[in-house]
Structure 1
């Protein structure tokens, strides 16, 4: 099935980033630039810039549910993407709504720690995430530290990434993409495990510190592809290509880890793949 045969509606359930590089801001930009339609249910507000998270204000779980339900009842969704769900009550509330729409695929980005090192998931919520949310995921998209925490293992090599991805399938997710950006080396490797087996995506590393919001961006890119009718592997490949081009043309905003260039497709940039 090719992109465009579905309406491409993505409901994003995640936190806000006041700096605009990550969170729902990155999600909305990604979905829009890939031709989808983004709706949101905000789970938390953050006072955030390229140097870190300076404050977090959670949203009442009942109001998160209300945001989700009014969107689903009126606009509908072809895919749901979850990001920052900072506490066990929030995860439980979101999962309650997801149980009402079991036919809509869910992309779970298990946001635990910001790139600045600030914790975005309470310690007691990890068990709830694994027990209630992972089992609803069409695809789980952890980075190396998140996969280590979810799978209870150390990841030091590309082979470890594959082992971790396969291990995460035992938690109940239909597929898992373990990202290797935190590993050292000139080659960046991500590994996808799904019902068809394991596939490794390898590219030359783009040397940049402008990486704020890369996890949100990749997960939302995958969600957009699934919402538009792409098969999983095709959705992952397109999302990775979109992110690589956004990294290659990052604008250099901010004093620390700046955002990627989400808008490159509408700016006519000829960036390297």
Structure 2
């Protein structure tokens, strides 16, 4: 791609499920990426029947169809970052692992990959069986730059209990970086902990906001991916994305009867 052909903004490929309520999934990813002044490319892994109150059903898409969409975009619009959310099945996870290998071997700079390990909805409903959890551990985690589970997801993936023990097992599985979020802890502050395979450790405390939110994990992971696409270091991207996510939650919207929806485009609204 020549200099004249380079995109005006960094491109972020978001691969995940479609949430028709707009609270989570691909729509959430696209809003976050646009808010970060990057451009979203989207591939849907699964259609879902859900709203702000919960999930009724998941309809995974054929892996070969997902792969074709990803490769088509790669040939025309090479992304500067990849964000993976809801996967939908073990076969899709293994396909995405192969696609990441394609990104790594193509004649381009290594593309950062952020994996939001979506194992349950914001309402606590499981969206991953044992086969998918195994495929995530064995095929995807070793190929990602950053893995962003909340504490229940980290426990489900590792069988450990404490955040530090969960992180050690995920690092041992091949993840270079692990961000374990503390939104599900019964603590006054939300503590997010970042662990690096090089021994680095960082922690951030955020005031716990009242209410429950639909799509906070999608928001944070996509915000990190967009910032990595802009060339931030991982530590800078994680810190900046947390501040953005906290503000989006603080200014959340009432779009349905149950969980609140993060106001991911708050900066554009305030500018109007």
Q: TM-score, normalised by structure 2?
A: 0.92
Residues of 2 paired with 1:184 and 1:125: CA distance?
28
| Alignment partner of 1:121 out of 123, 128, 133 | 128
What SS does the aligned partner of 1:80 have? strand
What SS does the aligned partner of 2:102 have? coil
Matched, 1:142 2:167: no
Q: Which residue of 1 aligns with 2:140?
A: 133
Cα-to-partner distance string for 1:167-204 (whole Å, 9 max, x where unaligned): 32111011000001100121110000123510011122
| Alignment partner of 1:208 out of 208, 211, 214 | 211
Residues of 1 paired with 2:12 and 2:164: CA distance?
28
The gaps in structure 1 that reach 5 residues or longer are: 1-5, 155-159
Q: Which residue of 1 aligns with 2:3?
A: none
Shift of 1:76: 0.7
Post-superposition, which runs of at least 4 consecutive aligned residues in structure 1 deviate over 6 A? none
Residues of 2 paired with 1:166 and 1:193: CA distance?
8
The 8 Å contact of residues 149 and 180 in structure 2, kept in 1 or not, is answered as yes
Pairs within 5 Å for 1:1-273: 7-102=9-104, 103-154=110-161, 160-194=162-196, 195=198, 197-209=200-212, 211-268=213-270
Q: Which residue of 1 aligns with 2:5?
A: none
What SS does the aligned partner of 2:18 have? strand
Residues of 1 paired with 2:166 and 2:208: CA distance?
21
What SS does the aligned partner of 1:176 have? strand
Residues of 2 paired with 1:131 and 1:164: CA distance?
15
The 8 Å contact of residues 161 and 179 in structure 1, kept in 2 or not, is answered as no
Cα-to-partner distance string for 1:126-174 (whole Å, 9 max, x where unaligned): 11111100001100000011100112112xxxxx323432332111011
The 8 Å contact of residues 113 and 120 in structure 1, kept in 2 or not, is answered as yes
Residues of 2 paired with 1:71 and 1:143: CA distance?
30
Size of the aligned set, in residue pairs, is: 259
Which stretch of the first structure deviates more once superposed, 52-61 or 11-20? 52-61
The 8 Å contact of residues 134 and 140 in structure 1, kept in 2 or not, is answered as yes
Residues of 2 paired with 1:70 and 1:207: CA distance?
43
Shift of 1:37: 0.7
Q: Which residue of 1 aligns with 2:4?
A: none
